[in-house]
Every structure is written in C-alpha cells, then in structure tokens.
Structure 1
Amino acid sequence: MKDSLDKILEEVRGREVPTSERYGQVLGLAERIRRRVEEEALNRGVFVEASVEGSVAKDTWLGSEVDIDIFMLIPEEVEKEKIFSVYMDVARESVREYGWIERYAEHPYVEAVVDGGIKINIVPCYKVKPPNWKTATDRTPYHTQYIKTHLKEEQKNEVRILKRFMKGIKVYGADIKTGGFSGYLTELLIIRYGNFIETLKSVSKWRIGETIDIENHYGGEIGEIKKLFTEPLILIDPADKNRNVAAAVRLEKLNIFRVASKLFLKKPSLKFFYPPKIKPPNPENMEKLLDERPSNLLFLKLGRVEAVPDVLWGQIYKTSKAIKNLLEKNDFKVLRVSAWSDEKENSVLVFELENLKLENIKKHYGPPVSSSEEENFVGKYLGSQRTVSGPYVEDGRWVVLIKRKYLDAKRLLEEKLGRGKFGRDFGVAGRVSEALRRGFNIFVDGEIIPFYRENVSFASFLAEFLRGKPSWLE
C-alpha cells in the first residue's frame, strides 16, 4: 500500500506544485495588479497600501487553481462608508478590462478571473495593530506573516496536497455556500500535525468539538475555550485568541473530512483528489430516472435574487430550512434538501419527499388525561370542521382523527409562497421573498426536464444529487 500511496502523493505534487514558468506568470500578474490598485487609488485622491496576501504570498497556492489576493490596507481613520464607495471603485477599476463580480464578506470585495482562469480578489481592510480590529479582514496580513514565519519550506507542498484533498471531497472553502475549511485553516493544520498523512491520521480520530490551540493562548484550559466557542471544530487563531479559525466549518463538512480521511488511509486513491466527473444522463433518460424513483422530487425554481453570491447562498439556505420545516409541519416527510444556483439569473431549491401526496385523514395525539392542556385540546376539536372522529381517550391520552388541510405538497408551496407575505411569515429569507413576488415555478419530478435540457450546470448538479454517493466512496 505504501508504494501506491507514495505514487498517489507524487502524482498530486506533480499536478499542484507550480513550475518555474507558472511562478513567473502568477507572481508577475500579482505585482502588476498590486501596482495598479495603488495607482488607481492615487488617481482618486486616496491612499492605500496594496499588499499581496493569501496563498500566493505564503507560497501554498495550487498550480491547477490559482487565487491571488490583493489587500488594500486603508488608514484606520477612514469611515466604513467610504470603503463601499471610493475604495470599491478603486478595486473595480483595477480590473476594468476583465469581467468582475462583487462578492461580500463583512464588507464587499471584487473578484475577477484573468489570464486563463487565474482568480483575483481585491479586498479592502484597515491597517491596524492587533487586537484593534475594525473588520474581519484586518487580521489577514497578520495571518500571512504567521504562516510565513511558522510554515517550514518542506511543509508548503504538504499544504498543497491537503488543499487538493479537501477540494476533491468538497470541503474546501470558508464561503457560505461551502461551509468548509479556509486556506489559512488548512495551513494551520499542517503546522499543527506536521504533514498531510499525519493530519489525516489525526482528523480520522477527531471528535465533534475537537479543540486546537497552537499558541497555547488558553494554557491548556479546554473548558475555558468551550465556554467561548460552540462550533463543531475549534482552532484558536494564533493572531487573535478571541477568534475561532474554524467557525465557518459546518458539521456536515467536518464529518465528511473525518470519514474521507479514514477511508483514504485505509484505501488510498487518486479519486479523493480528483474525483471523476459524473456525466448527466440525456433528458429522456433523466426523465425516466425521475419517474421510476420511489420518492418524489419537488423543485422550486426562482428567477434572479438581488444579492451578491455570498449573501445569495445565505438566503437560499435560510429559505430551504424554512420550506423544509413547513413541509414537515404539514406531515410531508422530507428525505433530503439541496440547492443549485448560477448566482445570476436562476436558482433551484430541491426537496426530496417520501410522498408528494398524503391521505385525507390523520391521527392526532393530544395531551395526557387530567393534564393542564386537556381542556383546551378537547374544546378545540369538539367544534372543529376538520374533526372526523373524537376527541376520545386512548392509552391515557386524548386522541382525535382529523382531516388534513393540505394533501398535496406542490399545492401547499404554491399557496404559501405565492400570496400574502410570500413566505416571510414562516421564515423565507427577505430577498428570496422579493424574487417570489416577481414570479416562480414549482415542478414535480419530470416537469423539471425542460430546464434540465437547457442548463448544463443544473444537469450536472441533479445527476450528482440523484446519485447521492460521493464519487470517492467505493
């Protein structure tokens, strides 16, 4: 197995360690954009110190996927409102010849894709000394300095391997959509455990609530740390004892990382790093798959949601949870929930249901006999038009047979989302509610095929959703 493992890791290094030519291209581009940011600031009569940060500055970037982070260090006396106006204009103008989009963390930043897929992020932050942070991004230059000081030369490629592993199992990225591991967190794990394999060995033994304090800020007092942080994974920021670097990691992504680490160590495979792409079935075969599936799929298709991508995904997740709760409150058993978006004009929320339709009657259990709630329960159902039989006593509890209000999940959503407060009354996110007001579609099973046919990205998403099993799981 060791020979196989060594070959796999060597293959990953070969793909991800940049060549000297690639180094020249990326570092040259980073410096050009950095200078342009400072020049554009001067053109607008403001001063910024532009600095290359992130994986390029720390030499932990992947040869196959390059992100260049340019930070605009802004004097701390500048008002936040000016960041939204003047400094964001500087960022946009610095990449004017490329197609850029605006993203959002605590405040907005600009992302552009240039020179054959290289991604550039131009991020404003304040130039402050710790711990006088004014925004979350103010810590980044100190993160860069910490990694450059503590990460050994031979560990840089270990970081690259770990990043590629995380990307392959889809847990890399601290953005709202992913809810996974940031580059900084990945680098800190290598500093903590030494190399890729030792990291996976430790991760496979992690428990929920695993706590890491590299700089021993809390003197080994884990109890004190857990009074401050409640996330599934806790790694105290070496640059700020009051921050959990792993705060963005959702429980689902932590568990995927744990189990994938264990399985890789047991049976190494290149699939963990480079999972094969699933080819979507043609529309006719997909329609057949949906029709023959023993469950039902309910699709809520939205038009444009007026939000930058990071805000959009927060709105989507909040809405998905609200609709899931609505369905379950009305006795529809929700098996799985997911969502897709092109982050521009279309978003689709998917709910897999055990059954789309329910029987007209249900048995509703009330309070125990002689409890304080029995009078209200009996009074409510004695005169109700929904009551079919009862109330009566069974095994020491009040019971009533009642008619269900909603028998069809599609009709339930059409009624609750298509009028009144457009879902706001049961938890639909504000900007999604605005999109619902402008119009939406609800599709069941094969009714989604026309959209599937015209959208390749959604087709790939749906094929993966139906498969369920991650491609690295054998």
Structure 2
Amino acid sequence: MSDDTGEGEPESGADGAPEDADARTAALEAITERVLERISPDDVERATMHAAAEELLARATAAATDRCPDADVVQVGSTARDTWISGDRDIDVFVRFPPSLDRETLETYGLEVGHETLPEGHEEYAEHPYVTGEYDGFDVDVVPCFRLEAATDIRSAVDRTPFHNRYLEARLDGETADDVRLAKQFLKAIGAYGSNLRTEGFSGYLTELLVVEYGGFRPLLEAAADWHPPVELDPEDHGRARETSSSRNGADGDYPFDDPLVVIDPTDPERNVAAVCSAANVARFQHYAREVLESPRIDLFEPDEPEPLGPDELAAHLDRRETTPIAIRFDAPALVDDQLYPQLQKSLDGVVSGLDRREFDVLRAETFADASAVLFVELAVAERPAVERHEGPPVHVRGHAEGFHDAYADDETVYGPFIDGDRYVVERGRDFTDAISFLESDRLLDVGLGAHVETALEDEYEVLVGSDVSALLEEFGAALRAYFEPTP
C-alpha cells in the first residue's frame, strides 16, 4: 500500500479497491478529509485575501461614488462565497451603476473606476470593457454592471453575476463550501473544470449549484454516476425543465435547450447554466464519479499533466497503429482562447468532413494550439483508387434519371452510365487519389474553415505526414502523449 493511501484507511482487495460498500464509504471520507486539508485556504491565506479585497473595494467605492453617488461595489465569485481553493488567486470586484445610466457612460465610468482601483491594470473586453490586473499577488477584475431588480432584466451577461452571488450566499454554509471545494478539485483533476470554450467544462457557478442541489459532494457523485442525459435540473422550479418532456413528446411546450446537462439558472429561467458543458465532459464526470465511488483514490483528486511524448515513443505508436497521421500546421491567429478554439474546432470539422467525403477515412482528429496551431487528423485510409462510384437517381424517377444519364452518356472519361439495381451509376475519375494532395491544394480552403484560420492558411501552412509529425513534439509533446495514450 503506497503512502498516498494513508494509514488507518480500510483494507483493499487485490485490485486496490475497498472490499465492501462500508469500506469504500470510509475510504472516500478519509481521502476527502486529506484533500480538504490540502486545498482549503489557511488562516494566513484567508487574511491576506480579505485584506486585499477590503482595500480594492474601498478604492473602487471611492472612485465609483465620485462619479455616480448611487453606485455601489460588491465582491463576487468564489473568494466572496468562501468556495475558493488554496492557491486560486482571483478577486472579482463588480461596480454596480443605476439602470438610469446609459451604457456608454457606464463603460466610461467603469474603465475609469477600474484604472483608479488598479493603477497598473490593463483593459480587456467581453460584452463591454473592464480592467484587469494584479494586486498583492491576486488576479483582480474590476467589472462594471447595472444594478437591477431581477436577473431577467439584464442588459449584458455580467449583470447576472451579483444575482448568482446573492443566491448562493444564502444557501452555502461551511460544510457545503467544503463540498464545493472538493467538487471543484475533482473536476479540475479529471480535466472537466472551466467554462471557457477550450475546455467546455463545468463552471464554478454550475459546480456550486450542483453541490447545493444534491446536498453535498458525495450525493452529487452518486447522482452523476446514474445520470441519463439529457439531465434536467430546475433548482427554483421555474417549470422550464418540466417543459422538456412535453416538448420532446410533440406537445406545445416551449423548451429552448438542447444540451446533455440542463440546469435552469435559479435567477433567470431563460438560461441554462450548463449550456457550455460538452457531452464529453458530462460523460467524463460520470466515468470518474463511478470510479471514485467504486475505488476511492487520492490520485483522482490530483491533476496529472502528461509528460511530453518522446521521438522513440511516437515512432513506436506509429509503427503499432499503421495509420497515416497528418498535421496541418500554421501560425496561430492572435485571438483569445474563447475565440480561437471554436474557430479551430470548426476548421477541424470542415477538414474531417472534406476528407470523409473523398473517402479518406478519418480514425480520429484533434486540434492543438500554442504559438502555432495544428489541425491533426489520423487516417485509416489515406489513398484511394483512380475511380470512384457516383450513383444517380432510380431509373423510374424519369426526369432526374434522364438528366443524369444524358449528362454522362457521351463522356468518354467515365465508365457508364450503367444500371446497378434500379438506378443509373457511373464510375468517374477522382479529383484526389491521396489525402495529402487534397490538403495541399486550394480545395482545402473550401471545407468550411473558421474565418481567422482561413486567413492564416491563405498566408502559409505546412502539411506534415507520417513520421514527419515528430516536428510537433517540441511544442506539443504533452498533447501528443494525451492523443496517443488516451484516457477517459
């Protein structure tokens, strides 16, 4: 038994799992205690955060009320609700202006307040600009919003955040906050935490809602282990989740969500808090929820960053798989992740579709990005014969069938037309007999690329094939290990 298991924990069977349900429960409790000791902020860290937040709130309040006497300032997010994990260094300061203020003035005041609060800060842009920077070791956002009566009156997405904060503060206590910390750490460890469009995982707000809804970390795990997507939760019983059944049975319900996990925002019934959460991350959470319940281990709470794949290891994978890996590499567009990754995914989908239409069978595909960006496809079939089958309509569909027949009747470059079954068929020459020729041609730009990716490819790109993909190892060695040694 390794040191990670800990002294005094229940005996395990030959496979390392506790032998019965009671033992597994005790093992999970012992492990979560140890995890909490590690991830809970200590008194010094809490005092440092509170002092920093107090100073920032005072600065922001003074700057805001100088410009608008009716303005106020609130701290939001996990540090405000005491659901933060030790080492997380985020303080979110929201400056609320009365709704009578016009949006242009709000943006102007918001930036001025932000710069007075964070003199060394810089501006970033979401739905409207805000100031972000560093103070006393904490990453700080100073965000302007409108102070509204209800979240349904929002003018931009950030207006919801104070409502989220108020809702959760009323429902979290010390024990529940610890369960939230455990849930966040677990989701981080399995790679499913974060609502950015690169991760498409569980946001902090969603995680907190789920823990509150199910009554703790372990009940959430037990529920998730048995989820049958689409999973629909409606914490405040707005009725939107109930509409799902009627809508999907053909009734007149007006259900706007088509996601694997639906959690109706308690403060806004028109919003699914889990909309960004991908089907893969819902499934990933289910897989590891089952695993940690069945075989509690502390390593399931510890992120495991893969070591970069080495050249010999890559060569061994390629020899074993006997596929054709192809990488389209180009300079990454200068976009934030939430803009870049949707464009990369759209581009990858287009490339895969273009290859599949030409019968170059794609086994698996992935995107990587750093200074450069890569559309990586692994082909089961990379070459095709010189001719391809092209089916026309059934002969009995007279108008279309005659049109098809006449189009090819005098074409000496095709075989046919002939009849196979009840329809006309020709065998015609392929535009591309190998995938590399297609990917190196201008036809690549016709597959439905993201706008900035298309611009980058028009400028310059290279196609790496087979063992030449080893050129990616220096920049993407860890990503390639994750690709060639996949786990749930």
What band does the TM-score fall into relative to the shorter chain?
A: 0.7 to 0.9
Partner secondary structure for residue 305 of structure 1: coil
How do 1:209-358 residues align onto structure 2 when only pairs under 5 Å count? 209-218=230-239, 221-223=242-244, 227-290=255-318, 292-342=320-370, 345-358=371-384
Indicate the residue corresponding to 2:55 in structure 1. Answer: 32
Indicate the residue corresponding to 1:176 in structure 2. Answer: 197
- Matched letter for residue 450 of structure 1: A
Q: Is the 8 Å Cα contact of residues 103 and 308 (structure 1) preserved in structure 2?
A: no
Indicate the residue corresponding to 2:11 in structure 1. Answer: none
- Matched letter for residue 319 of structure 1: S
Indicate the residue corresponding to 1:433 in structure 2. Answer: 454
- Matched letter for residue 14 of structure 1: E
Using the TM superposition, give the Cα deviation of residue 197 of structure 1 relative to its aligned residue in structure 2, in angstroms: 1.0
Given the two structures, how large is their TM-score scaled by the length of structure 2? 0.84
Q: Which stretch shows the higher mean deviation, 244-253 or 212-221? A: 212-221
Q: Does 1:122 align with 2:142?
A: yes
* Cα distance in structure 1, aligned partners of 2:170 and 2:140: 24
Partner secondary structure for residue 441 of structure 2: helix
Q: Is the 8 Å Cα contact of residues 53 and 91 (structure 2) preserved in structure 1?
A: yes
Partner secondary structure for residue 180 of structure 1: coil
TM-aligned CA distance change 1:287 to 1:398, over 3 Å: same
Q: Does 1:464 align with 2:482?
A: yes
TM-aligned CA distance change 1:83 to 1:169, over 3 Å: farther
TM-aligned CA distance change 1:42 to 1:239, over 3 Å: closer
* Cα distance in structure 2, aligned partners of 1:38 and 1:366: 72
Q: Which stretch shows the higher mean deviation, 208-217 or 83-92? A: 83-92
Q: Kindly provide the CA deviation profile for residues 369-411 of structure 1, in whole angstroms up to 9, marking residues without a partner as x.
A: 3125322332343345652x22222233333222221122232
* Cα distance in structure 2, aligned partners of 1:114 and 1:392: 76
Unaligned runs of 5+ in 2: 1-23, 247-252
Indicate the residue corresponding to 2:419 in structure 1. Answer: 393
Q: Which stretch shows the higher mean deviation, 279-288 or 318-327? A: 279-288
Using the TM superposition, give the Cα deviation of residue 9 of structure 1 relative to its aligned residue in structure 2, in angstroms: 0.9
Rg comparison, structure with higher value: 2
TM-aligned CA distance change 1:77 to 1:332, over 3 Å: farther
- Matched letter for residue 142 of structure 2: I
Q: Kindly provide the CA deviation profile for residues 158-194 of structure 1, in whole angstroms up to 9, marking residues without a partner as x.
A: 0111111111111111111111111111111111111
How do 1:365-404 residues align onto structure 2 when only pairs under 5 Å count? 365-372=391-398, 373-384=400-411, 387=414, 389-404=415-430
Unaligned runs of 5+ in 1: none
Q: Kindly provide the CA deviation profile for residues 224-268 of structure 1, in whole angstroms up to 9, marking residues without a partner as x.
A: 676232222111111111111111112221122222222222222
Q: Which stretch shows the higher mean deviation, 316-325 or 441-450? A: 441-450
Using the TM superposition, give the Cα deviation of residue 73 of structure 1 relative to its aligned residue in structure 2, in angstroms: 2.3
* Cα distance in structure 1, aligned partners of 2:261 and 2:295: 26
- Matched letter for residue 305 of structure 1: P
Q: Does 1:132 align with 2:153?
A: yes
* Cα distance in structure 2, aligned partners of 1:115 and 1:321: 44
TM-aligned CA distance change 1:272 to 1:241, over 3 Å: same
* Cα distance in structure 2, aligned partners of 1:37 and 1:60: 23
Indicate the residue corresponding to 1:14 in structure 2. Answer: 37
* Cα distance in structure 1, aligned partners of 2:98 and 2:318: 57
Using the TM superposition, give the Cα deviation of residue 322 of structure 1 relative to its aligned residue in structure 2, in angstroms: 1.8
Match of 2:92 among 69, 77, 80: 69
Using the TM superposition, give the Cα deviation of residue 442 of structure 1 relative to its aligned residue in structure 2, in angstroms: 2.1
- Matched letter for residue 348 of structure 2: S
Given the two structures, how large is their TM-score scaled by the length of structure 1? 0.86
Using the TM superposition, give the Cα deviation of residue 306 of structure 1 relative to its aligned residue in structure 2, in angstroms: 3.2
Q: Is the 8 Å Cα contact of residues 386 and 404 (structure 1) preserved in structure 2?
A: no
Using the TM superposition, give the Cα deviation of residue 135 of structure 1 relative to its aligned residue in structure 2, in angstroms: 0.5
TM-aligned CA distance change 1:93 to 1:319, over 3 Å: farther
| Residues paired across the two proteins, number | 455
Match of 1:55 among 67, 78, 83: 78
Indicate the residue corresponding to 1:149 in structure 2. Answer: 170
* Cα distance in structure 2, aligned partners of 1:179 and 1:397: 45
How do 1:173-212 residues align onto structure 2 when only pairs under 5 Å count? 173-212=194-233
* Cα distance in structure 2, aligned partners of 1:349 and 1:83: 41
* Cα distance in structure 1, aligned partners of 2:375 and 2:351: 10
* Cα distance in structure 1, aligned partners of 2:101 and 2:268: 23
Q: Kindly provide the CA deviation profile for residues 272-312 of structure 1, in whole angstroms up to 9, marking residues without a partner as x.
A: 22143321233354345445532222222221413222112
- Matched letter for residue 402 of structure 2: E
Q: Kindly provide the CA deviation profile for residues 24-53 of structure 1, in whole angstroms up to 9, marking residues without a partner as x.
A: 12222333344444566689x678644211
* Cα distance in structure 2, aligned partners of 1:450 and 1:115: 41
Partner secondary structure for residue 363 of structure 2: strand
TM-aligned CA distance change 1:322 to 1:113, over 3 Å: farther
Q: Which stretch shows the higher mean deviation, 53-62 or 28-37? A: 28-37
Q: Is the 8 Å Cα contact of residues 291 and 446 (structure 1) preserved in structure 2?
A: no
* Cα distance in structure 1, aligned partners of 2:229 and 2:448: 29
Percentage of matched positions with identical amino acids: 30
Q: Which stretch shows the higher mean deviation, 436-445 or 248-257? A: 436-445
* Cα distance in structure 2, aligned partners of 1:237 and 1:216: 10
Q: Is the 8 Å Cα contact of residues 214 and 236 (structure 1) preserved in structure 2?
A: yes
Q: Which stretch shows the higher mean deviation, 406-415 or 10-19? A: 406-415
Q: Is the 8 Å Cα contact of residues 103 and 310 (structure 1) preserved in structure 2?
A: no
Partner secondary structure for residue 228 of structure 1: coil
Q: Kindly provide the CA deviation profile for residues 302-336 of structure 1, in whole angstroms up to 9, marking residues without a partner as x.
A: 21413222112222222222222222222222222
TM-aligned CA distance change 1:310 to 1:72, over 3 Å: farther
Indicate the residue corresponding to 2:19 in structure 1. Answer: none
How do 1:446-461 residues align onto structure 2 when only pairs under 5 Å count? 446-453=467-474, 455=475, 458-461=476-479
TM-aligned CA distance change 1:86 to 1:219, over 3 Å: closer
- Matched letter for residue 81 of structure 2: K
Using the TM superposition, give the Cα deviation of residue 452 of structure 1 relative to its aligned residue in structure 2, in angstroms: 2.3
TM-aligned CA distance change 1:90 to 1:434, over 3 Å: farther
How do 1:107-118 residues align onto structure 2 when only pairs under 5 Å count? 107-109=128-130, 111-112=132-133, 118=138
* Cα distance in structure 2, aligned partners of 1:347 and 1:113: 29
TM-aligned CA distance change 1:304 to 1:122, over 3 Å: farther
Q: Is the 8 Å Cα contact of residues 260 and 278 (structure 2) preserved in structure 1?
A: yes
Partner secondary structure for residue 227 of structure 1: coil
- Matched letter for residue 30 of structure 1: A
Indicate the residue corresponding to 2:250 in structure 1. Answer: none
